[in-house]
Amino acid sequence: MGKIVVVENLTLDGVMQSPGTEDDTRGGFTRGGWATPYADPALAETMGKGVAADNGMLFGRRTYEIMERSWGGRTDDNPFTAVLERKQKYVVSRSLDKPSWVNSTPVSDLAELSRIEEDLVVLGSGELVRSLAVAGLVDQYVLVLHPLTLGQGMTLFGDLEVTLTLEETVVTGKGVIIAFYRRRSAA
């Protein structure tokens, strides 16, 4: 099995729900799109390096569907469009049998991940990330910490105990801290 890297946008109070869109209103969440005002060239450059890397992508069903609606089948000149179209995408879901986005493969459970040899990057997909953390399958977390609190919304770790070792940080001009952590243990 390849390495699994989780990339998450978070507020300072740990909220990860709907950072770029208003698509996820579960639990009455009304503050979607909170990360958008913090975009800047330093953030785009750092995240772009990760997206351009030679790896597959791993999604939970909800995030996959949001990403497919936003990026699937686009023909614009955004550099991420071509990268996302050509990458192999895996979707962990018990209800999505035939994903429609090009280069997408369904994965019915975490045990199937052991057969995937390439490195995988997980974007969003909070429920999946928590399951991966409990199973001890996350090798690295890239936490994109935005300088705001929301006071509501789903958090990344919830009641999980995860111990991390900081490897590197990048601070953007808008105060976003991109922290690269290696997992030490999970409980």
Higher per-residue confidence, 53 vs 160:
160
The arithmetic mean of pLDDT across residues 87-91, rounded, is 95
- For residue 163, what pLDDT band results from cuts at 50, 70 and 90? very high
- For residue 186, what pLDDT band results from cuts at 50, 70 and 90? very low
Enumerate residues 6+ apart whose C-beta is below 8 A from 147: 12, 38, 174, 175, 176
Angle at 184 between CA 183 and CA 185, to 5 degrees: 100
Structure tokens at 12: 């300072």
Q: Is the entire prediction scored with pTM above 0.85?
A: yes
At 164, the amino acid letter reads: L
Residue 153, Cβ density class (10 Å: 0-12 exposed, 13-18 middle, ≥19 buried)? buried
Its domain, for residue 80, covers 4-186
CATH number at residue 63: 3.40.430.10
The arithmetic mean of pLDDT across residues 10-26, rounded, is 91
Confidence (pLDDT) at 185: 55
Give alpha helix (H) positions in the chain. Answer: 41-52, 61-71, 79-86, 126-134
How many structural domains are present in the chain? Answer: 1
CB 143 within 8 A of CB 166: no
Question: Which residues does residue 165 pair with via DSSP β-bridges, in sequence order?
Answer: 182
